[in-house]
Amino acid sequence: MRGIAGLTMGVALGALTGCGSSHHDDASKSAAVPQAFQTACSHPGAQVTVSSLPATIRRTACDLTGVTVAYRGSGVTVPENGQTAAAMLDTASGGTELYAVVDAATGDVTIRAAN
């Protein structure tokens, strides 16, 4: 009976301390992802509106494939690895070019604008 009590206590202690858990990994990943992008991670079809660029998001922290990023009235959908997507908004006051570039080797996404 003593062995069972010790085993139960060990399992409970492991659960309380997060032994074998990725809680720390999740916290560090979300810290590496700009707040505007956090809810869109692994949600193709989601839309994110950002107020400042450029932004680079590591794929290991957040998969943005299929997510549309809006900036200054223009929007671009993040393509598959190794591809680039571009969008242009042309207005009387000027235009905004928006790019989503996905690194072929890492899958990291860089969103940038050119005015």
Classify strands 47-49 and 68-71 as parallel, antiparallel or unpaired.
parallel
What pLDDT, on the 0 to 100 scale, is given for residue 31?
A: 63
pLDDT-derived band at 89, boundaries 50, 70, 90: confident
What pLDDT, on the 0 to 100 scale, is given for residue 3?
A: 47
Distant-in-sequence, close-in-space partners of 31: CB < 8 Å, separation ≥ 6: none
| DSSP calls for 81-95 | TT-EEEEEEEETTEE
pTM of the predicted model over 0.85: no
What pLDDT, on the 0 to 100 scale, is given for residue 67?
A: 98
- C-alpha 16/C-alpha 39 separation (Å) is 27
Q: Is the peptide bond before 79 cis (omega within 30 degrees of 0)?
A: no
pLDDT tens-digit profile of 5-64? 443 333 333 333 343 434 444 555 556 899 999 999 999 999 999 999 999 999 999 999
Domain boundaries, given as residue ranges, for the chain? 33-114
